[in-house]
Structure 1
């Protein structure tokens, strides 16, 4: 007999403004404890030293995590020019240096090569798998290996500020799987001066913004009280990039049982992925076919 999960049935999203020095898993555990929730997960890992949006999904909202993971995200980051490190960030050892410093115009001219559909090589110290092992584990053990390039969509990459000749502040809007550290490394290589990330903040992720996120201190102050519940955001926000259809009463009943159900749809094409709502609440996600939604995920709210 399966063990029953302890905790409350909490469904929705809690947006956290993650502090530096804390892992994404630690943030999820803190939120889960604070809300006494049975189930929690996050949409997109942030490095421990990075700050900004970490959207924590609770209960049934965990079924919408893939849609936030796939959504566009914006990062603001500072590149230290003139130095390369083995981790491509300030946590690593300096492995190369240069006295060359590009001008603002040279940086702006180089950014165009990193926009659109690009191929990006993840850092050696990353969570990608090499023959079943995490790359960062192999790197720490001194192993020599190659990390294969991966496709990435970069919507925008801008120079925001140039505090001094050694630093450049950039903003990148990209799709799933982007490594800001790789951008800093590769930009430094193109400019002939080396580079690595010294500060990184995720400004927004899909519909969630850092400025609307709670700090860990706020979460701890409201932990295990109804005050924290007031900051929960609807499960449906995790589906904001998908078109919505309206389930008929009979269709909703069928969908909840995992069967195709009748829906009312506007501007949805045959076979398109969408979500069905009844009274504004998500019932299921699936494919629209001939007036019915064929569910792939069903919500029990």
Structure 2
């Protein structure tokens, strides 16, 4: 007989965990593992990484999930290895080989494709992706051998470095890109431009927005910690709005703002504002300012704010 599984007692957890996603797990599998370790009631991530990709995956818990869209839209930086001369059905090492061609690439060729693929581009999403058509992921169609027409997307490659590696058939691609960019597609397109085709053999996200791999923790490290140490790894929800303008409200204005009312003040127009209360000092949510009016956006509720303040007090008093 199997021993009965212990039921995890969930609790309100608020904040952002910067996870170094391991190879082989989907983003959702990594999220569920971290959620279980933190015993969190509510969680979400800020954009998927393929199971074959590793690196920066911000996980949002509790109140922080309200602001996860901000990092879905953030620029991302990736480092990938591509194998030249071999095309696969998926654009990565998981697929079947569908074409092989000889490789003859010079440093001048690499410089040429760097220039060619830097800036605004139109990309056709790969069939092996989570993009949905008629409620079904494209990779589900692909597994059935069905090719679905996909509209090209406008993306931006902000910076690109393509470098030779120790083996003549491998190149390293380092790219900072806009949201919606598929690095597998970029690797395949670079391979075609070099005249030999290519597929990715490794992919790592090294940054998303202002968050970098040096700030991340692995699941193994998190698992080895005590519950208090795990909670201490969380960044506050306002870490997701670090680049916003900042407005601090007094007690009465803060209460009215939290109820969804606009506030008037001598503020310059701003499209992205992080709003804080002064007594107690607490993050209240986001807003924008038009014609001296602070207009609420995504707001925390009073219970969430109380829980965050209580957790902060508990952490300060824990020896």
Shift of 1:260: 1.3
Contact 2:42 2:62 (C-alpha < 8 Å) held by counterparts:
yes
Report 1:27-42 matches (<5 A).
27-42=30-45
Report 1:62-77 matches (<5 A).
62-77=65-80
Structure 1: unaligned runs, 5 residues or longer? 1-5
Output the CA distance in 1 between the equivalents of 2:291 and 2:134. 44
TM-score, length of structure 1 as denominator length = 0.92
| Match 2:250 to one of 225, 228, 248 | 248
Contact 2:269 2:288 (C-alpha < 8 Å) held by counterparts:
no
Shift of 1:291: 2.6
Report the equivalent of 1:128: 131
Output the CA distance in 2 between the equivalents of 1:275 and 1:58. 18
Residues 1:219 and 2:207 are matched in the alignment: no
Report the equivalent of 1:3: none
Output the CA distance in 1 between the equivalents of 2:19 and 2:269. 35
Output the CA distance in 2 between the equivalents of 1:259 and 1:202. 40
Contact 1:20 1:51 (C-alpha < 8 Å) held by counterparts:
yes
Residues 1:292 and 2:293 are matched in the alignment: yes
Encode CA deviations 1:235-271: one digit per residue, 9 max, x unaligned. 1110123222222332211111122134564xx426x
Encode CA deviations 1:89-127: one digit per residue, 9 max, x unaligned. 000011111103311220121122222221111111111
Output the CA distance in 1 between the equivalents of 2:292 and 2:154. 35
Report the equivalent of 1:269: 269
Report the equivalent of 2:4: none
Shift of 1:194: 0.1
3-state DSSP class of the match of 1:250? helix
Output the CA distance in 1 between the equivalents of 2:163 and 2:245. 34
Report 1:167-182 matches (<5 A).
167-182=170-185
Output the CA distance in 2 between the equivalents of 1:161 and 1:240. 37
- After TM superposition, which residue ranges in structure 1, 4 or more long, deviate above 6 angstroms? none
Output the CA distance in 2 between the equivalents of 1:146 and 1:69. 25
Contact 2:71 2:209 (C-alpha < 8 Å) held by counterparts:
yes
Residues 1:60 and 2:59 are matched in the alignment: no
Report the equivalent of 1:159: 162
Shift of 1:85: 0.7
3-state DSSP class of the match of 2:166? strand
3-state DSSP class of the match of 1:87? coil
Contact 1:255 1:284 (C-alpha < 8 Å) held by counterparts:
no
Shift of 1:161: 4.6
Superposition RMSD on alpha carbons, in Å?
1.8
3-state DSSP class of the match of 1:233? coil
Encode CA deviations 1:212-246: one digit per residue, 9 max, x unaligned. 211111111126x1111111111111012322222
Q: Which has the larger radius of gyration?
A: 2
3-state DSSP class of the match of 1:163? coil
Output the CA distance in 1 between the equivalents of 2:300 and 2:94. 42
3-state DSSP class of the match of 2:65? helix
Shift of 1:159: 2.1
| Match 1:83 to one of 69, 83, 86 | 86
TM-score, length of structure 2 as denominator length = 0.87
Report the equivalent of 1:110: 113
Output the CA distance in 1 between the equivalents of 2:18 and 2:265. 31
Contact 2:269 2:292 (C-alpha < 8 Å) held by counterparts:
no
Output the CA distance in 2 between the equivalents of 1:66 and 1:264. 29
Contact 2:245 2:272 (C-alpha < 8 Å) held by counterparts:
yes
Q: Greater shift after overlay, 19-28 or 105-114?
A: 105-114
Contact 1:10 1:37 (C-alpha < 8 Å) held by counterparts:
yes
3-state DSSP class of the match of 1:111? helix
